[in-house]
Each structure stands twice: as structure tokens, then as C-alpha cells.
Amino acid sequence: MKLKNPLSADELEQQIAAASNIKDEEISTSDIQPLTDDSFKKAIFNPYYKPVKKQLTVRLDAVLIEWLKGQGKGYQTRLNDILKKAMIDDLKHN
């Protein structure tokens, strides 16, 4: 189902231009609660986010491939998760 915009293209363009001309200092953020560590603990993962994947050829030790495949379907996803965790851990320590 396609949603219809109640504004014409010209009206929409005018509203976008008007909003673009507002200075940051003129925008009231008084009704926005400050973010805390607790806010992020309650955050929900965006179910629509899909990271960009790139195809790549790598050479791995046979024992690694057997270990990954031995855990069932999804060995490439598991490998990606292992590498992503290692990357995050490395970034935290740098």
C-alpha cells in the first residue's frame, strides 16, 4: 500500500526549505529527556537494520572450517559474529 502525502510537491518543498533555514539555537529541545546509561540498556535493536555484506575469499585452516561447520548450519554467520566480537573487543581496548 502506497501512502499518499496530503501536501503537493511544491508545498512539501517549501516546508523542507523553511525547516532547513531554522538555526539550531532556535530549536527547543526542552521536552527531550537526557540520555543516560540506563536509556541505552533499555534500547531496542533496530529490526530493519541490515549491515552491508561483501563477498570475500579467505584461506582458513581446515580445522577451523571443520569446527565451524561441525556446529550446524550458519557457519558463515558464526564466523562473522566471532570476527565482529573480536573487532569490538579490540576497539574497546584502543
Structural domain count of the chain:
1
pTM (two decimals): 0.51
Domain assignment present for residue 33? The answer is no
Answer whether residue 3 shows pLDDT above 80.
no
Q: Is residue 74 in a domain?
A: yes
Q: What is the pLDDT of residue 5?
A: 67
40-54 exposure pattern, b = at least 16 Cβ within 10 A, e = fewer: eeeeeeeeeeeeeee
* 71: containing domain: 53-94
pLDDT tens for 18-34 read 999 999 999 999 999 88
Q: What would the pLDDT profile of 29-88 be if each residue is shown by its tens digit?
A: 999 988 898 888 888 888 898 889 999 999 999 999 999 999 999 999 999 999 999 999
